[in-house]
Amino acid sequence: MSQNKTAPTSASVEDFLQSVEPERKAVEAQELDRLFRNATGYQPQMWGPSIVGYGRYHYRYASGREGDYLATGFSPRKARHSIYIMPGYQDYGGILARLGKHKLGKSCLYVNRLADIDLDVLGELIRAGLKDLDAIWPVQPQ
């Protein structure tokens, strides 16, 4: 059975966040970390080399494939922040309409600058995503 490419690591979240470049992205990454900690109540853990995850869940599909994955999190990419809101198949149109400037992927948001979005609405979206995920696959702390 294949393993997920993105897996939890023992790398330091603080060291990673301090290494983010450019400096503006590092400051925003610290702000996202505070927001995710407050919205989830979870301590962060690195998933792969560049994703900061909060909580985890175990899934098992009808095909027999199973594994663990981060419940929510973000990655401060150079071009834009990738914000992982799980599950990706729920309709969050009402919340997203109030979020501000973003692009939407299957299960993530892309945000160029935090000043472009309403962080209170992002917190609401994180909590809604966790609640919906937990109804399908129970979410656990790291």
Q: Which of 37, 117, 105 has its CA nearest to residue 72?
A: 37
Using alpha carbons only, what angle is made at residue 108 by residues 58 and 38, rounded to the nearest 5 degrees? 75
Helix, strand, or coil (residue 129): helix
Q: What CATH number does the domain located at 13-137 have?
A: 3.90.1150.200
What would the 3-class secondary structure string for 12-36 be? Answer: CHHHHHHHCCCHHHHHHHHHHHHHH
Per-residue pLDDT tens listing for the chain (142 residues): 456 778 899 999 999 999 999 999 999 999 999 999 999 999 999 999 999 999 999 988 888 888 899 999 999 998 899 999 866 667 889 999 999 999 988 778 999 999 999 999 999 999 999 999 999 999 999 7
pLDDT of res. 28: 97
pLDDT of res. 84: 93
Q: Which residues contact 123 (CB under 8 A, 6 or more apart)?
A: 35, 38, 39
Other C-beta atoms lying within 10 Å of the C-beta of residue 16 = 21
Q: Which residues contact 48 (CB under 8 A, 6 or more apart)?
A: 5, 6, 7, 9
For 67, the token pair is: 């594994």
- Locate the domains of the chain by residue range: 13-137
Is the four-CA dihedral 69, 126, 41, 33 of positive or negative sign? positive
Give the whole-angstrom CA distance, residue 27 versus residue 113.
11
Whether the predicted model's global pTM rises above the 0.75 cut: yes
